[in-house]
Each structure stands twice: as structure tokens, then as C-alpha cells.
């Protein structure tokens, strides 16, 4: 191999390395540059619950519902820790209720820390949210809207503002 051939090979190799480096950089950086321009579809349960909780925390006995939110295999649960992030509420002040889905055996599960959709297909629901002073008042408020609703995973005291997140069917 002569000297000119080796130089051309070296230059070609350097060019390939530069092209690969640029492609990797674009792949990593481009999503961050486009993020502000991508519209959020508004169907994230956590974001929607957090927004209403922030709004209703100081408005006792005011019921509001989200538009449809999606529990999917990629995001199957709503955690107390996530919904209270950047709000004046603690996770102890959050109560969950299956609401309209109380009879859906095996589809939903409420634990101490989260409400989870257990079945593989995605489920479109609405979240009803209400806050009030004390657990008893909150239970009465929720039952006015969803008569057979039961508050679960609720460690709120009678001296605290308590908030309920209630599953509702999309009508």
C-alpha cells in the first residue's frame, strides 16, 4: 500500500468517526431541543391530579373532575408521592377511592402508597378530586357524588385537610 492510499484511508476513517460522533450528539441533544415544542396530550393521571389538588387544597367541599386520563402499561399507577410533589399537601393527606370502578374485581388495586391499574390494555378514566377538613367530612363529601364510594389508603386525621382522588368512568 503506497503512502497516498494510506493517507486517503486515514482521512476516510477520520471522516467516518466525525460523522458517527455528530450522529450520536444529534440523537442525544435533539429530543431536549424539541421538548418545548411537543404538545403534551394532557392525559397523564399524575399531572392532572397534581394540578387539581393544588387548586382544590384550600377550597373545602368543591368537587372537580379531570378530562379523560389514561392508565397504560407504561404508566399503570398513580402514586401519592408523585401527586403531592410541589404542592402544599403531604402523602398522608391523600385518600384513594375506586369510585365508579368499585365492582371491577381485579382491574384496580389500592395500596398504602398508590392506585394501580392491573390489566394490560390501557384504561381511560376521569379523576374526581375533592378536599375537606378531616376524614369524616371528606367521606361524606365523596358519598354525595359517588354514593357507594369508599375511601381507602387514608391515614388523614380529623385536624388535617384531606383530599380524595376518586376514579370515575368517562361518559
Express each pLDDT in 64-104 by its tens digit. Answer: 999 999 998 888 999 999 999 988 899 999 999 999 998 88
Rounded Cα distance between 131 and 87, Å, is 14
Q: Is 82 helix (H, G, I), strand (E, B) or coil?
A: helix
For residue 36, what pLDDT band results from cuts at 50, 70 and 90? very low
Contact 54, 64 (CB under 8 A): no
Residue 157 region by backbone torsions, left for phi larger than 0, else alpha for psi between -120 and 50, else beta: beta
- The pLDDT assigned to 6 comes to 78
Burial 60-80 (b: 16+ CB within 10 A, else e): beebebbeebbbeeeebbbbb
Is residue 130 predicted with pLDDT exceeding 70? yes
For the chain, helix, strand, coil in percent to 5 are 40, 25, 35
> Distance (Å, rounded) from C-alpha 96 to C-alpha 47?
16
CB atoms within 10 A of CB 89: 22
0.85 exceeded by pTM: no
Amino acid at each position: 500500500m503506497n503512502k497516498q492510499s494510506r493517507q486517503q484511508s486515514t482521512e476516510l476513517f477520520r471522516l467516518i468517526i466525525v460523522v458517527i460522533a455528530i450522529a450520536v450528539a444529534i440523537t442525544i441533544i435533539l429530543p431536549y431541543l424539541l421538548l418545548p415544542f411537543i404538545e403534551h396530550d394532557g392525559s397523564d393521571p399524575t399531572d392532572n391530579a397534581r394540578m387539581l389538588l393544588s387548586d382544590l387544597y384550600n377550597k373545602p367541599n368543591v368537587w372537580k373532575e379531570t378530562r379523560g386520563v389514561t392508565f397504560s402499561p407504561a404508566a399503570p399507577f398513580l402514586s401519592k408521592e408523585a401527586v403531592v410533589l410541589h404542592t402544599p399537601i403531604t402523602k398522608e393527606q391523600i385518600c384513594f377511592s375506586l369510585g365508579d370502578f368499585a365492582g371491577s374485581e381485579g382491574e384496580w388495586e389500592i395500596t398504602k402508597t398508590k392506585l394501580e391499574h392491573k390489566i394490560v390494555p390501557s384504561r381511560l378514566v376521569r379523576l374526581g378530586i375533592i378536599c375537606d377538613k378531616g376524614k369524616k367530612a371528606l367521606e361524606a363529601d365523596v358519598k354525595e357524588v359517588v354514593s357507594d364510594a369508599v375511601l381507602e389508603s387514608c391515614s388523614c386525621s380529623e385536624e388535617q385537610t384531606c383530599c380524595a382522588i376518586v376514579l370515575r368512568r368517562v361518559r
